[in-house]
Amino acid sequence: MDHHRDIALISVSIDLGAGRRGVDMGPSALRIAGISREIEAIGHTITELGTVTAGGLETTDAGEHELRFLDEIVHVADETRRLVREGLARGCTPLVLGGDHSLSIGSVAAVADHYGQRDASVGIIWVDAHADMNLPHTTPTGNIHGMSLAVLLGQGEPQLTSGRTCVLPENVSVLGARSLDAGEKRLIRELGVRVFTMSEIDERGVGVCMDEAMERATAGTSGFHLSFDVDALDPRIAPGVGTPVRGGLTYREGHLVCEKAWRSGKLLSLELVELNPVLDDRNQTAELGVGLVASALGAAIL
């Protein structure tokens, strides 16, 4: 496998999809933690494609309770989609730094645009404490970052889905889930999305679960997108997240997921989201995030 890749680096500075402020500063924290230097040290080249910046909470209309900040999130998703498409058109591997998980509505759509015609032909591995599969009528908060995977599966608000399914349920896995809402559980069962809960990971091991997730993500597809929400990790090692849930992935489990993604040779694109430096302790979560991205791009122990 050719080790060198051109990496298209895109920052998406948005926290409007989240319940707590601060994840819009995630990309800055990752840059301060030396993400570009780490990626170049592996042997890759970086192309900076720019930053998408959402309007401020104070100046943006929150809109309906079920879909807070819908118009601005649609705008950010469109801009993210445009930049990721540009990176792919240049032959680069897109790396998106977030920002809340609503940005995936744009990033994954771009990957689906590039690799698919009409049919969805990319897979997703969604590493997250949450499934992000709420619908406008099931959301307990109205926060759109809790709906993004449902949107990519063609479910929910038409302004977000544009009437399109970006990925098929049989090519989607959630890894590390431990906090699911009642409406999400129903939709997961109905669509047949595979959710590897922390209980299953405890029992079977993260390596086996990741292998199965990659098998699903690559069955009949061009490859997969890795969407890594840092709240998948245990809050003791990753305190800088907006929605911490106890009992998450360990340091090594997080790295193994990323190492396996790279070794598969099927990783098309990736993103690291929901890093909240306001809640972090001396930027340790950002430093951990940089290490995870490096693992997903081929940094190896030996």
CATH number at residue 93: 3.40.800.10
Return the pLDDT at 62. 83
Q: β-pairing, 172-177 with 45-53?
A: unpaired
Q: Tell me how far CA of residue 78 lies from CA of 69, 204, 268, 289, 297, in angstroms.
A: 14, 39, 20, 25, 26
Domain count of the fold of the chain: 1
- State the pTM of this model: 0.97
Q: Which of 24, 38, 128, 184 is catalytic?
A: 128
Q: Which of 15, 38, 72, 274 is catalytic?
A: 274
Percent of the chain at pLDDT > 90 equals 91
Q: Is 21 exposed, middle or buried (0-12, 13-18, 19+ CB in 10 A)?
A: middle
pLDDT in tens, 187-230: 999 999 999 999 999 999 999 999 999 999 999 999 999 999 99
Q: 128 catalytic, yes or no?
A: yes
Summarize the confidence of residues 118-132 as an average pLDDT: 89
Asked, for residue 302, whether it belongs to a domain, the answer is: no
Q: Which of 145, 225, 234, 271 is catalytic?
A: 145
Asked, for residue 301, whether it belongs to a domain, the answer is: no
Q: Which of 15, 229, 234, 287 is catalytic?
A: 229
Domain interval for residue 265 = 6-296
Total Cβ atoms within 10 A of residue 96: 30
Q: 44 catalytic, yes or no?
A: no
Percent of the chain at pLDDT > 70 equals 98
Q: 75 catalytic, yes or no?
A: no
Q: Which of 15, 79, 100, 132 is catalytic?
A: 132
Q: Which of 44, 101, 114, 225 is catalytic?
A: 101
Summarize the confidence of residues 151-157 as an average pLDDT: 97
Asked, for residue 86, whether it belongs to a domain, the answer is: yes
Asked, for residue 1, whether it belongs to a domain, the answer is: no
Q: 66 catalytic, yes or no?
A: no
Q: Tell me how far CA of residue 268 lies from CA of 109, 121, 127, in angstroms.
A: 13, 12, 16
Asked, for residue 211, whether it belongs to a domain, the answer is: yes
Averaged pLDDT of the chain: 95
Asked, for residue 117, whether it belongs to a domain, the answer is: yes
